[in-house]
Amino acid sequence: MSDRYCVIGNPIGHSKSPAIHALFARQTGEDLVYEARLAPLDGFAAAVRAFAAAGGRGANVTVPFKEEAFRLCDAHSDRARLAGAVNTLSFADGRIVGDNTDGAGLVRDLVFNLKTPLAGRRVLLLGAGGAARGALGPILEREPEAVVIANRTAARAEDLALHFAEVGPVRGCGFADLTGESFDVVVNATAASLAGEVPPLPEGVFSPDALAYDMMYGKGDTAFLAHARRLGVARLADGLGMLVEQAAEAFFVWRGVRPDTLPVLAALRAA
Ligand code: NDP
């Protein structure tokens, strides 16, 4: 029988993860099935345990359960511990092991797919929620010149910067404090695009060759990417590449095989 995996979230109906993992399995010849599972908001732990008890080998975790998943695990990878959140669960010998592949997925998309090295660059990370927290460790590992976290609630950005102070050069602030600064890579990890809004950035935060990256994705430009395009920012990318790369990293954690992501990304873009 095929090995079973799933993604657990609420809502989950629009998840692209089953399609992505089906393409990975076909490409690599791995014998597995991967489904989407809706967990009630107060029933995440029960849903995970039921899936593991039914023979599931692993699960991805999405909104809003990544922090609860962290607390549920018996053991964590270093990157999950740093992020304080888990998006990849592995079940073995009655234990639940948690990993976090979101940040690695973002960095792989930036560095390999978008040919945007981070070493020696100035990186602006907008937002201080779970996605920003997951991204910081892998970004800092690439040895950027500086990372600034800017958030609507400045204190959350400052706290996050303190948490990562030993990992690399990082500072937290509010959006208005960015006046006079410019960055080579600007990553939007806020949920503002979901509401069609754009964080109020001072003029000049995008350096002339900057990449504007929105973790959100959908049809056409997100609000953030449309704003960057109006400002004349030359290089724009949405978060679909991050989604595929975090999935590939999870696939590697489970199966020890790294899928070729570019054809899968192309198939999703064409769909
Ligand atoms: P959280 O709810 O944990 O954090 C939300 C963040 O957005 C906070 O920093 C919040 O600021 C800020 N924010 C919310 N609304 C606004 C607004 N109108 N203007 C400015 N800032 C705002 O969300 P996540 O971190 O989990 O997710 C953030 C985004 O990343 C989502 O769009 C999500 O879809 C995307 N994502 C994409 C992934 C991918 O694979 N491509 C993976 C994970 C996430 P404050 O602290 O002031 O409330």
Q: pLDDT tens across 199-227, in order?
A: 999 989 999 999 999 999 988 899 999 99
Residue nearest to atom 36 of ligand 1 (CA): 215
Q: pLDDT tens across 167-189, in order?
A: 999 999 999 999 999 999 999 99
Statement to judge: residues 43 and 16 lie in one domain: yes
Statement to judge: residues 219 and 171 lie in one domain: yes
Statement to judge: residues 75 and 193 lie in one domain: no
Statement to judge: residues 226 and 213 lie in one domain: yes
Distance 242 CA to ligand 1 centre (A): 15
Distance CA 106, CA 126 (A): 14
Signed CA dihedral, 112, 115, 119, 122: sign only: negative
Atom of ligand 1 nearest to the CA of 66: 26
**ipTM here:** 0.98
Statement to judge: residues 224 and 255 lie in one domain: no
Collapsed DSSP state (helix, strand, coil) of residue 94: coil
- Domain extent at residue 33: 3-100+242-270
Confirm whether residue 270 is marked as ligand binding: no
Collapsed DSSP state (helix, strand, coil) of residue 50: helix
In the predicted structure, residue 76 carries a pLDDT above the cut 90: yes
Return the pLDDT at 89.
98
Looking up residue 165, the CATH number of its domain turns out to be 3.40.50.720
Q: pLDDT tens across 120-148, in order?
A: 999 999 999 889 999 999 999 999 999 99
Statement to judge: residues 116 and 222 lie in one domain: yes
Return the pLDDT at 219.
85
191 lines ligand 1 (CB under 6 A): yes
Mean pLDDT of 61-69: 95
Q: pLDDT tens across 18-27, in order?
A: 999 999 999 9
Distance 42 CA to ligand 1 centre (A): 22
Work out how many domains the chain is built from and give that number: 2
66 is known as an active-site residue = yes
Distance 49 CA to ligand 1 centre (A): 28
Mean pLDDT of 75-82: 96
Residue nearest to atom 14 of ligand 1 (CA): 191
In the predicted structure, residue 194 carries a pLDDT above the cut 90: no
Return the pLDDT at 212.
98
The values of phi and psi at residue 3, to 5°, are -70, 145
Statement to judge: residues 168 and 48 lie in one domain: no
Within the chain, where are the H helices? 17-28, 44-53, 66-72, 78-83, 102-108, 130-141, 154-163, 223-230, 240-255, 261-270
Name the residue among 136, 128, 58 with its Cα closest to residue 102.
136
Atom of ligand 1 nearest to the CA of 246: 40
CB-side exposure of 143: number of CA atoms within 13 Å?
2
In the predicted structure, residue 154 carries a pLDDT above the cut 90: yes
Statement to judge: residues 196 and 153 lie in one domain: yes
Q: pLDDT tens across 30-58, in order?
A: 999 999 999 999 999 999 999 999 999 99
Distance CA 83, CA 117 (A): 22
Statement to judge: residues 26 and 151 lie in one domain: no
21, 66, 133, 255: the catalytic one is: 66
Statement to judge: residues 125 and 213 lie in one domain: yes
Confirm whether residue 188 is marked as ligand binding: no
Return the pLDDT at 1.
86
Question: CA dist 69 to 41, 73, 86, 198, 213, Å?
Answer: 13, 6, 6, 30, 27
Statement to judge: residues 165 and 119 lie in one domain: yes
Distance 187 CA to ligand 1 centre (A): 11
Statement to judge: residues 187 and 228 lie in one domain: yes
Looking up residue 69, the CATH number of its domain turns out to be 3.40.50.10860
| Whether 62 contacts 48, CB under 8 Å | no
